[in-house]
Structure 1
Amino acid sequence: MIGRRLTGIDAARGVALLGMMATHIFSLYNEQTGEPSWTGLVFSGRSSALFAVVAGIGLALLTGGSQPRSGRALSADRRGIAMRALIIALVGLTLGGLDTSIAVILFHYGVLFLLALPFVGMRVPKLALWAGGWLLLSPAVAYLVRPWIYTHVSPATLGSNIGWEAFLEPGTLAADVFFTGFYPVFQWLSYLLIGLLIGRLKLAELTVQAGLVAAGIVAAAGAKFLSYYLLLEQGGLDAILDTNSGRIWPLARMMEVNLAGVEQTGSWWWLAVSGPHSGTPLDLLHTAGTSAAVVGVCLLLTRARPNLLLPLSAAGAMTLTLYSLHVWVMSVTDASPTPPEPVLLFWLSAIAAAGIGIGFLKLGSRGPLELVTHGASQLVRQGSRTGT
């Protein structure tokens, strides 16, 4: 049953990969009307959140699944995760040096893995309290901290991907990574904690799989409904539009697609927003809910037939390699004087991802970057067990 469970988890990771590819390839807004595109409405914010939630599930599975390890075994797990974090961050820094419009997420993932280390030994009740509390309170703390950052840190954000040169501005780098950048890890730790919580459940059980779907749908829909009520019925939107950002940005459209880069200051009503990449409690709850539902659906579909979603699960088993390859390809196409049609580029990318994944699966091999990451992690784990 473990193998079947992992097939479903890999499939969910594959869904996240394809969703992120779609947001990178297709425009998030209609170029003629300026209205949000179908891609922006469906995938923006949700795909990257799913990627992070499944990463948390992966950490849970690495550390014992429903029976978290303790003692020396847990210490070995933590060393292995720390090594994974280092390699992922290094890959992210390398990709950050490419000329691309993609907001590369891997350096942030490395930081998130390190931040998750204190939580990987927790059982479900304690982990649930931490996950729920972090989801609710971290956006409020971020709201209080950001005005100080905008006043005392110059520049307050890098305005680009994180490359090696970013370390020349440590204050800006820290502000960008934790609070002001595209993926503020202070709030995004919520996704890792929720993923850890899901991974601590008995994912092979039918009731758990169906429960993830039901709970995810309720959370996602409830977050949107509550945001709608607070903003439109209680006057929150008017208060937000009266802030500096409300006067500058077309927030009505951006709230449907992407609020990254918008300075959310001047009104506590910002915390009632549920728009993608706003980092508010309702945004985190909505995207965590859609992520849980996708994971549940993938587990249900692969329950009786583990290879039913093979193109997705094969690609999802080597997302570090495929994501890195995708970023490189996009940097090349972005620089091309005649870039390919988005529809053609997406389907070529999707077919290539599935084909490469299936090829490595049939060879019984991990992806190149997964092989390096796994090998380095195992070396650290073995060293910790032998005391070297």
Structure 2
Amino acid sequence: MTSQETAPPRKARDGGQVSSRLTGIDAARGAALLGMMSTHLLPTFGPSPSWEPTLVGLVFSGRSAALFAVLAGIGLALGTGKQEPRTGNDLWSARGGVAMRALVIAVVGLSLGGLDVNVAVILVHYAVLFLCVLPFLGLRLKALCFWAAGWVLLSPVLAYLVRPLLLDAAPPLQLGHNPNGEDLGTPSRLLADLFFTGYYPVFQWISYLLIGLVIGRLALTTAKVQLLLLSGGIAVAAAAKLGGFLAMEAWGGRAALEALPGTRGYPLENMLQVNLTGLEQTGSWWWLATASPHAGTTLDLLHSSGTAAAAVGFFLLLGTVTERIKVNFLIVLSGPGAMTLSLYSAHVWVVSGFTNQPLPAGWTEEGMYWTQALCAVAIGVCFALLRRRGPLEWVAHTASKLGSYRPAAVG
């Protein structure tokens, strides 16, 4: 939820240093925040008995969270050398800063996990992802491409083989709730949930950060790369979704999965379009052929990474336009996008106040979403105009500076 893109720093009014940033990256992060908020507050399925997917479910489910993860990888690449990764002591210093930033995010995530809230909080998984990619921060573009491709292809298969073993344990190695401080007392269960059996399986999601590192090592300020991300992302996303559709509908995959026990609830056809969370996805290799949101399959990773790359390319192009016309209309997204850790945390806290409670008289789910979205935009724009970091961003930045500190050599 925090970014690391750096260039020559400028002095903030609060006396801190605020890095000059790629506006398009922050705008993409802001769009991801608003998209994720929509899946938390608005229905992704229609009413029974049809349970038809809603527009929010079809557009944002799975894709907004994946965009966050890809942007995390991009931010790490920009903060560790951009096209030329850091080496030697500079690299170790950067890794220390990332590790401390991850610690702050984890603490915030564990705190939010203690709330009674019907939201799958991503922050602890996000922090673990930061730690998992530390070994890759010094790799150049070619090596990163090989690692990203291998992880996308192989991690879903390995996860499919490991997941049943964890779920068949007594008791099952799965939390069934957001990670919180109490779960630190059962580390094996916590780690199994974080990496394989939970809502955001870190083992497969490492793919998103590796792809983000690949993108972040490109010359993102050039129109050629921006257009490549937009067009290439759309092509990959469309091809992956087509492959999943053919596997499920033309080649018999959905019929085979519907015959399995444990696929009841929402109609599987609708879940394949919106979200497979809640299904164990065991008992048939056909699960690996879906491109469904939150499936964690190769096709899902390719599709959601493709949409993320396209979004990044699109917002980078818009950022270039704002520079040329000298009108920063993207501030409505880049403002909140520069302080997503604070805004996301505030959003989860506010939602927890209404969990299992009736909405206030006259309020609707749509009204609740638009109120929170507009507040997030307004707060983000104000902080951007004042050139101040969000409160949690300031804490994460300070921790990162402490983690990256290396005393000057003597003599």
TM-score with structure 2 length normalisation?
Answer: 0.91
The alpha-carbon distance between structure 1 residues 385 and 179, as it changes in their structure 2 partners (threshold 3 A), is farther
CA distance in 2, matches of 1:347, 1:142: 37
- Identity percentage of aligned residues: 54
Matches within 5 A, 1:174-323: 174-246=191-263, 250-306=267-323, 307-323=328-344
Query: What does residue 394 of structure 2 align with?
Result: 371
1:143 aligns with 2:160: yes
Q: Deviation digits for residues 42-95 of structure 1, max 9, x if unmatched?
A: 100000000110011001011011111110000000000000110000000000
1:223–1:274 Cα contact (<8 Å) kept: yes
Which residues of structure 2 form unaligned runs of 5+? 1-5, 8-18
1:383 aligns with 2:400: no
The alpha-carbon distance between structure 1 residues 366 and 247, as it changes in their structure 2 partners (threshold 3 A), is closer
Out of 350, 354, 370, which is 2:377 matched to? 354
Out of 39, 44, 50, which is 1:28 matched to? 44
Displacement of 1:237 in angstroms is: 2.0
Displacement of 1:241 in angstroms is: 1.9
Out of 32, 48, 60, which is 1:16 matched to? 32
CA distance in 2, matches of 1:248, 1:377: 45
The alpha-carbon distance between structure 1 residues 248 and 348, as it changes in their structure 2 partners (threshold 3 A), is closer
Out of 311, 332, 339, which is 2:353 matched to? 332
CA distance in 1, matches of 2:21, 2:152: 26
- Bigger share in helix: 1
Displacement of 1:34 in angstroms is: 1.4
Out of 44, 48, 60, which is 2:77 matched to? 60
The alpha-carbon distance between structure 1 residues 381 and 4, as it changes in their structure 2 partners (threshold 3 A), is closer
Q: Tell me how many residue pairs correspond in the alignment.
A: 387
Displacement of 1:385 in angstroms is: 5.7
The residue type paired with residue 6 of structure 1 is L
Displacement of 1:335 in angstroms is: 5.0
CA distance in 1, matches of 2:25, 2:377: 16
Which residues of structure 1 form unaligned runs of 5+? none
2:166–2:172 Cα contact (<8 Å) kept: no
Structure 1 residue ranges (4+ consecutive) displaced by more than 4 angstroms after TM superposition: 1-5, 384-387
CA distance in 2, matches of 1:116, 1:9: 20
The residue type paired with residue 368 of structure 1 is P
Matches within 5 A, 1:89-128: 89-128=106-145
CA distance in 2, matches of 1:345, 1:249: 25
Displacement of 1:349 in angstroms is: 1.1
Q: Over aligned residue pairs, what C-alpha RMSD do you find?
A: 1.7
TM-score with structure 1 length normalisation?
Answer: 0.96
1:5–1:203 Cα contact (<8 Å) kept: no
Q: Deviation digits for residues 131-162 of structure 1, max 9, x if unmatched?
A: 01101100000001011112225223111111
Displacement of 1:386 in angstroms is: 6.0
2:263–2:279 Cα contact (<8 Å) kept: no
CA distance in 1, matches of 2:263, 2:120: 24
CA distance in 1, matches of 2:369, 2:292: 25
The alpha-carbon distance between structure 1 residues 5 and 297, as it changes in their structure 2 partners (threshold 3 A), is farther
